[in-house]
Amino acid sequence: MAQKKILIVPGDGIGQEVTEVGKRVLDAIAAKFGHEFTYDEALIGHVAIEATGNPLPEETLHKMKNSDAILFGAVGHPKYDNDPSAKVRPEQGLLRMRKELGLYANLRPIKLFDELLSASSIKPEILKGADILFFRELTGDIYFGEKGRKNDGDTAYDVAEYSRYEVERIGRKAFEAARTRKKKLCSVDKANVLETSRLWREEIQKLEKEYPDVQVEHQFVDALAMMLIKDPKRFDVVVTTNLFGDILTDEASQIAGSMGMLASASIGDGTGVYEPIHGSAHDITGKGVANPLASVLSAALLLDISFGMKAESELVIQAVDQVLKQGYRTRDIADANTPAAMILGTEAMGTEVLKFI
Ligand code: IPM
Ligand code: MG
């Protein structure tokens, strides 16, 4: 029996709907295993801008630092996407949170539930058995370097920067994870062009000597983007920079059938943050059709990584597996053979997961 403080940060768009389901799952786990989870809620992103003018209000940051784990939804609003001149943007809240909490390692497990083999646009025989764990560096690179305009605003720049220490700490996490899996690590960079990538490769090569039991390959990001689709099964743990990781994990979501299925964990110096990799999806917001399973699987990662509750986490994953086996689908993972009665909305899907738990 453990006592834990969980902060719920639903954010924008479907973040609200799916995080509600993730929270219900955490509650059910607490009841079943006799844990005491207490919850608080905080604002981030567009909803926080509307309420306070700040995409990451100080109150939210304070609550984040004082909780044991954070279940996060999504940030973003179409209003800003079409207004490149907006000075205050929802995404700034997310980026600042990553920096302030020292969340330098973003884990994105890409695992296909067998029942979803036909939901992907990639051929089932290519996908079957694919199981990749991405480590995306999350607090460096072009995301956080100097950016601005010059020449009277006619030229823009974003500086990519990495220090040895930043590469080493994410590299180490990836090597450690590879040791607990198939002992295979692929490091992705663009060392034929970028200086940051050459430093990245040097540091990973140093670590290779400390982990002689892990088999390492280095790939350029363009080649890796191709290989991921051609033969996803050849990869086990993949470690890469912030920007490349952002792009490659969206691509890799197709290996898992749908973006709606993928959870992620952001960890580092302080409180861990667990969130779906999908965004705020304003096109379906408020319709009750969003797939809550990525939030449910984020809750599973939270239980495992932040609380060390393996059995609890495993039960949540099994619940998702069972619900899919019974044939239930949300719209995004349904196919032409799914009977209409088996296509559930967000809440109903959550209820099926809870029944199993
Ligand atoms: C992600 C998202 C964010 C990112 C956006 C919303 C800033 O795409 O978490 O992958 O680029 O990191
Ligand atoms: Mg992204």
Q: The dihedral of CA 210, 215, 219, 225: what is its sign?
A: negative
The atom of ligand 1 lying closest to the CA of 264 is 9
277 C-alpha vs ligand 2 centroid, how far in Å? 7
What confidence tens digit (pLDDT) does each residue in 112-136 have? 888 888 878 889 999 999 999 999 9
Predicted confidence (pLDDT) per residue in 340-355, tens digit: 999 999 999 999 999 9
The residue type at 85: S
- pLDDT tens digits, one per residue of 58-111: 999 999 999 999 999 999 999 998 888 889 999 999 999 999 999 999 999 998
Closest C-alpha to ligand 1, atom 12: 246
Question: Of 171 and 335, which is predicted with more confidence?
Answer: 171
Residue whose CA lies nearest to ligand 1 atom number 8: 246
**Residue 264 CB neighbour total at 10 angstroms:** 23
Of ligand 1's listed atoms, the one at least distance from the Cα of 74 is 6
Confidence of residue 163 (pLDDT cuts 50, 70, 90): very high
Query: 86 CB contacts (<8 Å, ≥6 apart)?
Result: 80
The two structure tokens encoding residue 233: 């099964």
Q: Where in the sequence numbering do the catalytic residues fall?
A: 143, 190, 222, 246, 250
Question: What CATH number has the domain spanning 131-254?
Answer: 3.40.718.10
Q: Indicate where the chain has its CATH 3.40.718.10 domain(s).
A: 1-109+261-357, 131-254
What pLDDT band is residue 183 in, cutting at 50, 70 and 90?
A: very high
Beta-strand pair 3-11/69-74: parallel
pLDDT of residue 221: 98
d(CA 229, CA 127): 9
95 CA to centre of ligand 1 in angstroms: 8
pLDDT tens, 217-237?
Answer: 999 999 999 999 999 999 999
Residue with tokens 């010059």: 150
In testing the pocket of ligand 1, which one of 14, 46, 103, 246 has its CB within 8 Å of the most ligand atoms? 246
Work out the pLDDT band at 326, boundaries 50, 70, 90.
very high
Residue-level pLDDT at 257? 79
d(CA 74, CA 17): 10
For the chain, percent of residues with pLDDT exceeding 70: 100
CA 104 / ligand 2 centre spacing (Å): 15
Residues 92-107: b if buried by 16+ CB within 10 A, e if exposed: bbbbebbbebbbbbbb
Q: Is the CB of 250 under 6 A from ligand 1?
A: no
Q: How far is the CA of 76 from the centre of ligand 2 (A)?
A: 11
- The number of helix segments (H) and strand segments (E) in the chain equals 13, 12
Ligand nearest to the CA of 76: 1
Full-model pTM: 0.94
Q: Whose CA is nearest to atom 6 of ligand 1?
A: 91
Which amino acid appears at position 129 of this protein? G
The ligand whose atoms approach the alpha carbon of 136 most closely is 1
Count of residues for the chain? Answer: 357
Structurally, what CATH architecture does the domain formed by 1-109+261-357 represent? 3-Layer(aba) Sandwich (3.40)
Q: What is the largest CA-CA distance in the chain?
A: 63
**329, two tokens:** 């689908």
Report the alpha-carbon distance of residue 9 to residue 43 in Å, rounded.
Answer: 6
Exposed (0-12), middle (13-18) or buried (19+): which is 26, by Cβ within 10 Å? buried
pLDDT of 86 reads 87
The per-residue pLDDT of the chain, averaged, comes to 95
The best mutation among 80, 91, 251, 253 to test binding of ligand 1, ranked by most ligand atoms within 8 Å of the C-beta, falls on 91
